Chain A
Amino acid sequence: GQQLNQSPQSMFIQEGEDVSMNCTSSSIFNTWLWYKQDPGEGPVLLIALYKAGELTSNGRLTAQFGITRKDSFLNISASIPSDVGIYFCAGRAGGTSYGKLTFGQGTILTVHP
Chain B
Amino acid sequence: NAGVTQTPKFQVLKTGQSMTLQCAQDMNHNSMYWYRQDPGMGLRLIYYSASEGTTDKGEVPNGYNVSRLNKREFSLRLESAAPSQTSVYFCASSQGSSNQPQHFGDGTRLSIL
Residues of A within 8 A of B (CB): 1, 4, 6, 9, 30-31, 33, 35, 40-45, 48, 50, 88, 90, 92, 96-101, 103-106
Contact = CB atoms under 8 A, between A and B. Distances in A.
Given A98-B96, A106-B42, A42 B90 contact: yes
B41 A105 contact: yes
Interface of B: 4, 31, 33, 35, 40-45, 48, 50, 58-59, 90, 92, 94-107
The binding surface of chain B is classed by DSSP as loop
Contacts, number: 71
B90 to A, nearest CB: 5
A105 B40 contact: yes
Nearest to A44: B104
Nearest to B92: A42
B90 A92 contact: no
A42 B106 contact: yes
Contacts of A98: 31, 48, 50, 96, 98
B31 to A, nearest CB: 5
A101 B45 contact: yes
Contacts of B100: 99
A100 B97 CA distance: 10
Contact of B99 (A40, A50, A88, A100): A50
A93 B44 CA distance: 15
Contact of A31 (B35, B41, B99): B99
A65 B106 CA distance: 28
A95 to B, nearest CB: 8
A104 B42 CA distance: 6
A31 B98 contact: yes
Which 4 residue pairs spanning A and B have beta carbons closest together?
A: A42-B104, A98-B50, A103-B42, A103-B43
